[in-house]
Amino acid sequence: MAEITLQIAGRHYDIGVRDGDEPHLAQLARLIEEKARAAQQNTPGLTEVRTLLFAALFLADELTDLRKAEAGRQERLSLEADDERAAQSVEALAARIEKLRETLAAAVAAA
């Protein structure tokens, strides 16, 4: 197991991670640090705990927005698939109607 030291909101944290996960965890820490700095700039005098709380809230807000956007994208894809299935059904019905028309025309011509 590897160990990495992360710096977030002016403090150092030693964290044990699986070997090879260090770059990923460092990237996550950079995201948290970015949000912590934004919290500190927007609200000077925050305690460490409140700084981390605001950083977590900022990240949760972004995650919620991303999830909503993804749900909207999935819904659009589903509607597009529904539209495609509906178009195929209409085409199949049109083909059946045309075949029935031809059959009726042939029956009328034979009579």
DSSP string, 24-41: HHHHHHHHHHHHHHHHHH
Q: In a 3-state reduction of DSSP, which class is residue 50?
A: helix
**Predicted local distance difference test score (pLDDT) of residue 14:** 94
pLDDT tens, per residue, the chain with 111 residues? 899 999 988 889 999 999 999 999 999 999 999 999 999 998 888 898 999 999 999 999 999 999 999 998 888 888 888 888 888 888 988 889 999 888 888 888 887
Q: In DSSP terms, which residues pair with 11 in a beta bridge?
A: 8
**Predicted local distance difference test score (pLDDT) of residue 43:** 87
**Predicted local distance difference test score (pLDDT) of residue 63:** 95
Q: Confirm if 14 and 39 have CB atoms less than 8 A apart.
A: no
Which of 64, 6, 60 minimizes the C-alpha distance to 33?
6
**Predicted local distance difference test score (pLDDT) of residue 59:** 95
**Predicted local distance difference test score (pLDDT) of residue 9:** 86
**Predicted local distance difference test score (pLDDT) of residue 84:** 83
Which of 44, 42, 55 minimizes the C-alpha distance to 9?
55
pTM listed for this prediction: 0.63
**Predicted local distance difference test score (pLDDT) of residue 85:** 85
**Predicted local distance difference test score (pLDDT) of residue 106:** 83
